[in-house]
């Protein structure tokens, strides 16, 4: 009888944490379990979007006096190394080092590991996997969700020449020592392919969406709180996700200022380091047409998307070439159109341009950008927006459903092990 294959999924975020990487790898883990693999997940304690309701469904049990925790996710063993969002840089660094040390210990404790799969960031997770795999004689697949250290350098947060040189060496080391590397689109592929000695190691596997959860809702009564989501005949624009530096928030504020006396409402839903800035700008400009709301559970997202007419994503200049928001797939799966600000040739623009389900603003000139958005909104009614959204829905169902993409990961690892 053939021994059951075992995969170790090593990710900085996993259920019950409520972020896109966690949702993505939750489904990948369940896909491998369904395929017949024994699946073990090595991750952190929830520290991004922590919901008490999710912790009750998946309680964490203390192990080794609290050095790590264990939980059960749909029959999958999950090991959690404690992490917190410390304000102190020194404490964050200590927590980061502790996570890596414990990851090595817990990874080496697992017996009969056949393969290790993990997403970036951080880049160092790939190095840890190579150490574990060396001892376990396992195959390593590294999934590039964001390109590091490029993003840190262009953002301006990394200027030390020695550290930059070290991280670039580490990046090439992880890429070339891994048995396979996946990245999410053609732009990312072209950016990093020359960093490989053997370019056949690099594969494109896009992200995906759970089309069982995210789908169009036609109900007139969505059951949303009317105080937070007042019903009216306005065109409603929405952003739901992390309110951070990856987004450019000034276009939203200026757009809301110019349209404050017209039939448009703007929604900003979530948490993040830039939320206080957005709230302050709303107050300063007296924007009663902008509603800033707290993080909402994943299960309510289809209703929120159904409530809105248009979803907007305004990428920051520093991030636009190095990241692809997974929310694009969920928006399309719910049959909704997008308004996107990002440079020409960036991953999100390249992806959306052929589908015609989005208003794409690629100019870097701020005034031109705002004028293009205002003109688009004034020219499109609810019916034309619905027609755009239908094109995105068709594309997702054909190429980016959960089953289609998870099977690509399974086939890749099966081929490596065979």
User: pLDDT tens digits for 210-251?
Assistant: 888 899 998 777 888 899 999 899 999 999 998 998 899 999
Mean of pLDDT over the chain: 92
Q: What is the mean pLDDT of residues 186-205?
A: 94
Q: How far apart are the first and last CA of the chain?
A: 16
Chain centroid to Cα 197, Å, comes to 29
CATH superfamily ID and name for 6-208+401-417 = Glycogen Phosphorylase B; (3.40.50.2000)
The single-letter DSSP state of residue 209 is B
Q: Express each pLDDT in 370-410 by its tens digit.
A: 999 999 999 999 999 999 999 999 999 888 988 889 999 99
Q: What is the mean pLDDT of residues 206-212?
A: 88
Band of residue 150 on the pLDDT scale cut at 50, 70, 90: confident
Q: What is the mean pLDDT of residues 21-42?
A: 95
In the predicted structure, residue 157 carries a pLDDT above the cut 90: no
Q: What is the mean pLDDT of residues 52-76?
A: 94
Q: Is the pTM higher than 0.85?
A: no
Q: What is the mean pLDDT of residues 338-358?
A: 94
Q: Express each pLDDT in 247-281 by its tens digit.
A: 999 999 999 999 999 999 999 999 999 999 999 99
Contact (Cβ atoms closer than 8 angstroms) between residue 116 and residue 133:
yes
* Spatial separation of the C-alpha atoms in residues 410 and 31, rounded to whole Å: 8
- Write down the CATH number for the domain with range 235-399: 3.40.50.2000
| Pairing state between β 180-183 and 139-144 | parallel
Within this chain, domains 6-208+401-417 and 235-399 share the same CATH topology: yes
Band of residue 333 on the pLDDT scale cut at 50, 70, 90: very high
Band of residue 156 on the pLDDT scale cut at 50, 70, 90: low
Query: In the chain, what are the domain boundaries?
Result: 6-208+401-417, 235-399
* Spatial separation of the C-alpha atoms in residues 341 and 363, rounded to whole Å: 8
Query: Exposed, middle or buried, 37 (CB in 10 Å: 0-12/13-18/19+)?
Result: buried
- Lowest model confidence (mean pLDDT) among 48-62, 92-106, 152-166: 152-166
What integer pLDDT is reported at residue 2 of this predicted model?
Answer: 56
* Spatial separation of the C-alpha atoms in residues 333 and 393, rounded to whole Å: 5
Please give the share of the chain, as a percent, with pLDDT higher than 90. Answer: 72
What integer pLDDT is reported at residue 235 of this predicted model?
Answer: 97
What integer pLDDT is reported at residue 1 of this predicted model?
Answer: 44
């Amino acid at each position: 009888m053939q021994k059951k294959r075992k995969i170790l999924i090593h990710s900085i975020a996993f259920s019950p944490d409520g972020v896109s990487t966690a949702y993505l790898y939750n489904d990948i883990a369940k896909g491998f379990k369904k395929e017949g693999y024994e699946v073990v997940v090595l991750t952190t304690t929830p520290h991004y979007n922590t919901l008490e309701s999710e912790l009750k469904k998946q309680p964490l049990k203390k192990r080794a006096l609290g050095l790590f925790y264990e939980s059960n996710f749909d029959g999958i063993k999950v090991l959690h190394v404690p992490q917190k969002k410390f304000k102190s840089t020194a404490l964050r660094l200590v927590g980061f080092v502790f996570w890596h040390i414990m990851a090595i210990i817990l990874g080496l404790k697992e017996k009969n590991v056949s393969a290790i799969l993990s997403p970036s960031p951080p880049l160092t997770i790939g190095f840890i996997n190579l150490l574990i795999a060396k001892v376990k004689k396992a195959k390593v697949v590294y999934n590039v969700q964001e390109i590091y250290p490029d993003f840190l350098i262009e953002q301006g947060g990394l200027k030390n020449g020695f550290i930059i040189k070290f991280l670039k060496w580490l990046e090439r080391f992880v890429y070339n020592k891994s048995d396979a590397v996946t990245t999410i689109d053609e732009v990312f592929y072209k950016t990093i392919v020359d960093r490989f000695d053997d370019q056949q190691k690099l594969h494109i596997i896009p992200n995906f969406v759970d089309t069982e959860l995210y789908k169009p809702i036609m109900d007139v009564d969505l059951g949303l709180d009317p105080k937070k989501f007042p019903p009216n005949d306005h065109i409603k624009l929405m952003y739901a996700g992390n309110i951070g530096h990856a987004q450019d928030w000034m276009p939203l504020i200026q757009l809301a200022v110019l349209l404050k006396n017209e039939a448009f409402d703007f929604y900003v839903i979530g948490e993040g380091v830039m939320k206080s800035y957005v709230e302050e700008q709303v107050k300063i400009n007296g924007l009663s047409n902008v509603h800033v709301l707290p993080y909402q559970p994943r299960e309510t997202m289809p209703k929120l998307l159904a409530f809105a007419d248009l979803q907007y994503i305004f990428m920051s200049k520093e991030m636009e070439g190095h990241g692809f928001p997974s929310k694009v797939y969920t928006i399309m799966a719910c049959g909704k159109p997008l308004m996107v600000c990002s440079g020409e040739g960036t991953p999100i623009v390249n992806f959306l341009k052929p589908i015609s389900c989005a208003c794409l603003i690629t100019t870097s000139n701020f005034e031109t950008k705002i004028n293009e958005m205002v003109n688009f909104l004034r020219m499109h009614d609810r019916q034309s927006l619905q027609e755009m959204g239908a094109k995105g829905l068709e594309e997702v169902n054909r190429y980016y459903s959960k089953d289609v993409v998870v099977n690509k990961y399974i086939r890749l690892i099966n081929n490596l092990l065979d």
